[in-house]
A and B are shown apart, each in its own frame.
Chain A
Amino acid sequence: MRFSAQLEARFERFLARYPQRRSALIPMLLYAQDEVGWLSPEVIAEIAGRLDLSVVEVESVISYYSMLRRRPAGKYHIQVCTNISCMLREAEPLFEHAREKLGIEPGEITEDGLFSLEEVECLGACSWAPAVQVNYDFHHEMTPEKLGALVDRLREKRP
């Protein structure tokens, strides 16, 4: 399979970057996931082939890393940190609110395909807790109100 020209160019940069090709595996997987939405069997086979790895070697790596997904997520993947510093600043009620607001459980996708929800470990925003990441965007010092407004905003952005 082919990826977008932009991603192919990125892959070429990755492959040129490392003394050993296999080092490009995890970056390729993550950026492919960003483009395709998840690591489908096709994507896995493609990347395995490009790096001369067996599918099971690639699966073994994927299943180790928590950001690598073997099933689709929503267009906006909402990740609420509930680790210690966020927990001390009311991350748990925030997470409950996200569940209610979106009407989904962690791992599920809203019917319109826009949102998915995940409770995540420390995002590195402890001094600006509680933190939420939507895809790769950080949102600091979140409250249920701010999260609600963010979700509404994202919903309206829909073409």
Chain B
Amino acid sequence: MTAAPGTLLIEAARRAGIEIPAFCYYPGLSLQAACRMCLVEIEKAPKLQTACTVPVSEGMVVRTNTPKVHDARRSMLEFLLTNHPLDCPVCDKGGECELQDMVFRYGASFSRFREEKRHTDEEKWSPVVYYDGPRCILCYRCVRVCNEGMDVSALAIVNRGGRTLIGPNAGGHLDCEQCGMCIDICPVGALTSGSYRHQARPWELHYVPTICTHCGDGCKTTLSVRNNRVLRGNNRDQSGINGEFLCIKGRYAFDFLHHPERLTQPLVRQEGKLVPATWAQALRAVAARFRQLLEQGSAFGIIGSNHAGNETAYLLQKFARAGLRTNNIDHHRTADYAALIAALARSGVRPADRLAGSRDLLTARAVLLIGNNPTEQHPLLAWNMRTNVRLNKGRLYVVNHRAIKLERQATATLRIEEGRAGALLDFLAGQTTAGQPPALQPWNEFRDRLRAESDLLVVFGDEIKGDGIARLVAFGNTLGGVTRYIALGDYNNSRGASDMGLLPGSLPGYAPVEDAVVRARFEAEWNVTLPPGPGLALDEMIAAAGDGRLGALYVVGANPLKRYNLNAGSSFLVVQDMFLTETARQADVVLPAAAVYEVNGTVTNTCGELQRIRQALGTNGPRADLEIIGLIAKETGISLGPVGSEEVFDEIRRLVNGYNVAMAGLAAGEAVPTAPADGRDASLGRPDLVHSSGDTLFTSGTLGQYSDMLEAVRRH
């Protein structure tokens, strides 16, 4: 057989369909040669050799299936089992344990070990990580993924010889990012998950692959469900854009689903108090008031969600525009996607060609990161940037007003004062090199280094918005090759909310509402006349509600009154949410909504990659946002056409710039890049509203408050 020079024997064999067993070998991590499972016969070598360390060479003759090799494997497994507890029926890993599988395939049917096993007590290292020393086979995968993959180095090898164990960094505890990568990578039941351990057998579980509902990176998390409860999240089959990666939120922060404060029935305000009501009563109350206000010609305001799927966002703006006849619609904007698409289009390129995908960060020759702190806010993208530097010799340039962890991987770092990003962009785009004051010397050097790069991938946070993005693109156009961009937005469907037109000036796909030709296209589809001018933005709606200029404020999956610390005044406030948030507490009607993990649909991550979300649980009481919007419309007497998620998605594909994607990949669970073809006319009002929440690894907006696991880790 043939393989590229430098390919390790174990990989070459795998590609040829020959399994060479191994525990310590793990693609992408440093080589160990410690477990000795991959010993093979190589012609002319006097001893068996480890296939995980020997690269292939011309004319090499290797035997993987000889009695000598089998004996070696069998004896390695026998050694492993001398101290490993043989209690698979009660081990948390039973049924998905690599050691169990290896013994089944290569091991002896009985053990000759008659001596006493050594014992150490199980240790709780954090709310999410437990360690059981005797089960540990010392493959060091956990140590390596933490050091090399995460750049956290919270785990170390302690003691030596037969007393060797893995130890945590903070005196018996873990002070780390709590990502749980160590648990997922553990081939045996040595590292177990605080939320899942001893809850179920893996073969009893129903596995539902969906997209994490927290940050904007769009990791696939496979939810393990039993008895209508989610017991764990992971990505064991590595099928998502995130490969093997998940952070604490994707892995553990699903527990809000089962939070005791979860709303299960509608609430209607009576005599100043929110009291439980039936769905019929609540919907009637909403519809009656909406009808009345429509007849009075009162203004409506609609605030949408960063979490709910594209279908919900799309239908909500359709309901607002076609049904309630208003462009007063917005959401908490966390990245200025509109400005990026517009700036690219106006600079004469097709935006789709310049918007990078999340995996492009793994292969980019050079990445420029301006602002944000991806380690906390975009853990997958941070992982990709680190991996690119570590394995692919990519270069990372970091600009920030504060120290961020990714600087450790940076080829060059430029610290700027807060609020100076715009000035820096002017400098970068400008031609001036001489006569700068000495303080600008670092700027000069940094610009020189960037100019020496080509095919730069620029990743930026909310520090750059509005006109700043136009300047960034202008700079990008001065560089060689194809400069590509990723704008960093906060939540799982922040990009989708924006793309779907939860914006006062934009119809879906950044189609400007003021453009009669554009409007005409949607009017024809929706069979209505659309309001022509831009509506009120988020803060304007809140202010208008407060001083009685809005008849009603309809909030779907958002908590704006907390952010603006305002009240809804005399407006009729309808809130659709999972919890009685600060906003919901002021509502006249509260409608219990299903979570992202309880519905089907699609979401778009911050890179514009479209992925399917799948319903993992049935709900008893709450209803899907999409369904609720449909019911309100129906009760109000407004026709929105078909409101099933698939029908709405068909409409999205047909009408939204960039969303006419091939269905096959999406149906297969892949991430499909959206491809906005244009956007030069996008409405760019109010970039001042673009503001990241600055979530950390252990917070997730309002939703994060209802995750006990995140709360426990914050306290740990």
A and B touch in the complex (CB under 8 A): yes
Contact status of A59 and B153, CB under 8 A, knowing A64-B159, A64-B160: no
Q: Which residues between 152 and 200 of chain B lie within 8 Å of chain A, taking CB atoms?
A: 153-160, 167-171
State the CA gap A33–B169 with chains docked (Å): 22
Q: Are B153 and A63 in contact (CB under 8 A)?
A: no
A60 to B153, Cβ gap below 8 A? no
Chain A nearest CB: distance from B126 CB in Å? 14
Q: Does A54 contact B (CB under 8 A)?
A: yes
Instruction: Name the B residues within 8 Å of A64 (CB-CB).
Output: 159-160
How far is it, in angstroms, between the C-alpha of A54 and the C-alpha of B153 when the chains are bound?
Answer: 9
Question: Among residues 18 to 57 in chain A, which have CB atoms less than 8 Å away from a CB atom of chain B?
Answer: 54-57
Chain B residue nearest in CB terms to A59: B158
Given contacts A56-B153, A56-B155, A63-B159, 9 further A-B contacts (CB under 8 A): A56-B154, A57-B153, A57-B156, A59-B156, A59-B158, A60-B157, A60-B158, A60-B167, A63-B158
Chain B positions within 8 Å of A57 at CB level: 153, 156
User: Smallest CB–CB gap between B654 and chain A, Å?
Assistant: 56
* A60 / chain B contacts, CB cutoff of 8 Å: 156-158, 167
- Contact status B159-A56, CB under 8 Å: no
Give bound CA distance, A51 to B582, whole Å. Answer: 49
Min Cβ gap A49→B in Å is 15
Total chain B interface residues with beta-carbon distance under 8 A: 13
Interface residues as binary, B235-246 with A (CB distance below 8 Å gives 1, 0 otherwise): 000000000000
A38 to B251, CA, bound (A): 42
For A54, A55, A63, A64, the residue with the greatest tally of chain B CB atoms inside 10 Å of its CB is A63
What A residues does B159 contact at CB under 8 A?
63-64
Residues of A within 8 A of B153 (CB): 54, 56-57
Contact with B along A46-88 (1 / 0, CB 8 A): 0000000011110110011000000000000000000000000
Q: How far is the CA of A152 from the CA of B224 in the complex (A)?
A: 69
Instruction: Mark interface residues in A91-133 (1 if CB within 8 Å of B CB, else 0).
Output: 0000000000000000000000000000000000000000000
Of the A-B pairs whose beta carbons lie under 8 Å apart in the complex, a sample of 7, sorted by A's number, is A54-B169, A55-B169, A56-B153, A57-B156, A59-B156, A60-B158, A63-B158
A60 to B147: give the CA distance in the assembly, Å. Answer: 14
The 8 closest A-B pairs by CB, nearest first: A60-B156, A56-B169, A56-B156, A63-B158, A63-B159, A64-B160, A60-B158, A60-B157
Measured CB to CB, the closest approach of chain B to A58, in angstroms, equals 9
Residue numbers in A under 8 Å from B170 (CB-CB): 56
Within the assembled complex, what's the spacing in Å between the Cα atoms of A60 and B169? 10
- B157 CB contacts on chain A under 8 angstroms: 60
Do B160 and A56 touch across chains, with their CB atoms under 8 A apart?
no
Task: Give chain B residues whose Cβ lies under 8 Å from the Cβ of A55.
Answer: 169, 171
Taking CB atoms, residues of chain B closer than 8 Å to A59 are 156, 158, 167
What is the total of A-B residue contacts with beta carbons within 8 Å? 26
Q: A54 CA to B156 CA in the complex, in Å?
A: 10
Bound together, the chains give a CA A59 to CA B155 distance in angstroms of 11
Closest-by-CB residue of B relative to A65 is B160
Within residues 132 to 160 of chain B, which ones have a CB less than 8 A from any CB in chain A? 153-160
Bound together, the chains give a CA A55 to CA B171 distance in angstroms of 9
Interface centre among A59, A60, A64 (most CB of B within 10 A): A60
Most chain B CB within 10 A, of A54, A56, A64, is at: A56
Cα A64 to Cα B156 with chains together (Å)? 12
> From residue B641, how far is it (CB to closest CB) to chain A in Å?
60
CB contacts (< 8 Å) of A63 on chain B: these are 158-160
Q: Give every chain A residue within 8 A of B169 (Cβ-Cβ).
A: 54-56
Distance to closest chain B CB from A93 (angstroms):
27
Per the bound structure, the CA–CA distance linking A54 and B170 in Å amounts to 10
| Cα–Cα, bound, A60→B155 (Å) | 10
Q: Which of B349-366 contact A (CB under 8 A)?
A: none
Contacts of B158 in A (CB 8 A): 59-60, 63
CA distance A63 to B163 in the complex (A): 10
Proximity string of chain B (466-499) to chain A, C-beta cutoff 8 Å, 1 when within and 0 when not: 0000000000000000000000000000000000
Q: For residues 28 through 76 of chain B, which have their beta carbon under 8 Å from a beta carbon of chain A?
A: none
Q: Report the nearest B residue to A58, measured CB to CB.
A: B156
Complex formed: what's the CA distance from A35 to B153 in Å?
30
CA distance A156 to B155 in the complex (A): 47
Interface centre among B154, B156, B160 (most CB of A within 10 A): B156
Using Cβ atoms and an 8 Å threshold, which residues of chain A touch B156? 56-57, 59-60
User: How far is A54 from B171 in the complex, measured between Cα atoms in Å?
Assistant: 12
CA distance A54 to B154 in the complex (A): 9
Tell me the minimal C-beta distance from A59 to chain B in angstroms: 6
Closest to B143 in A: A60
Can you name the residue of chain A whose Cβ is closest to the Cβ of B168?
A: A56
**With A and B bound together, what is the CA distance between A56 and B143 in angstroms?**
12
Q: How far is the CA of A54 from the CA of B151 in the complex (A)?
A: 13
A56 to B153, CA, bound (A): 9
Please report the C-alpha to C-alpha distance between residue A63 and residue B159 in the assembled complex, in whole angstroms. Answer: 4
Chain A residues whose C-beta falls within 8 Å of the C-beta of B171 in the assembled complex: 55
* CB-CB contacts below 8 Å: B664-712 with A: none
Closest Cβ neighbor of B153 among chain A residues: A54
Give the CA-CA distance A59 to B153 in the complex, in Å: 13
Closest chain B CB from A86 CB (angstroms)? 21
Provide the bound-state CA to CA distance between A63 and B160, in Å: 7
Tell me the bound Cα distance from A64 to B159 in angstroms.
5
| A34 vs chain B, min Cβ distance (A) | 22
In the complex, the chain B residue whose C-beta lies closest to that of A62 is B158
Q: What residues of A have a CB within 8 angstroms of the CB of B168 in the complex? A: 56
B154: nearest residue on chain A (CB-CB)? A56
The minimal Cβ–Cβ distance linking A107 to chain B, given in whole angstroms, is: 15
B165 to chain A, nearest CB (A): 9
Q: Which chain A residues border B167 with CB–CB below 8 Å?
A: 56, 59-60
What's the minimum C-beta distance from B492 to chain A, rounded to whole angstroms?
A: 34
Instruction: Give Cα distance in the complex from A54 to B159, angstroms.
Output: 17
A104 → chain B, closest Cβ, in Å?
Answer: 23
For window 633-676 of B, CB contacts with A under 8 Å fall at none
Nearest CB on B from A66, distance (A)? 8
**Shortest distance in angstroms between A2's beta carbon and chain B's nearest beta carbon?**
24
> What CA separation (Å) do A56 and B160 show in the bound complex?
15
A61 to chain B, nearest CB (A): 9
Q: How far is the CB of A13 from chain B (nearest CB, A)?
A: 28
Chain B nearest Cβ from A3, distance in angstroms: 23
CA distance A56 to B158 in the complex (A): 9
Contact with A along B547-560 (1 / 0, CB 8 A): 00000000000000
How far, in whole Å, are A59 and B160 apart by their CA atoms in the complex?
12
B405 CB, nearest partner CB in chain A, Å: 14
Complex alpha-carbon distance, A131 and B169, angstroms: 39
List A contacts of B155 (CB < 8 A).
56
Cβ of B407 to closest chain A Cβ, rounded Å: 15
Q: How far is the CA of A130 from the CA of B345 in the complex (A)?
A: 86
Report the bound CA distance from A55 to B153 in whole Å: 11
Chain A residues within an 8 Å CB radius of B154: 56
Closest CB-CB distance, B403 to chain A, in whole Å?
16
Give B156's nearest chain A residue, CB to CB: A60
Q: How far is the CA of A57 from the CA of B170 in the complex (A)?
A: 11
CB distance from B285 to the nearest CB of A (A): 59
- A42, chain B: closest CB distance, angstroms: 13
A132 to chain B, nearest CB (A): 24
- Complex-state Cα separation, A59 to B159, whole angstroms: 9
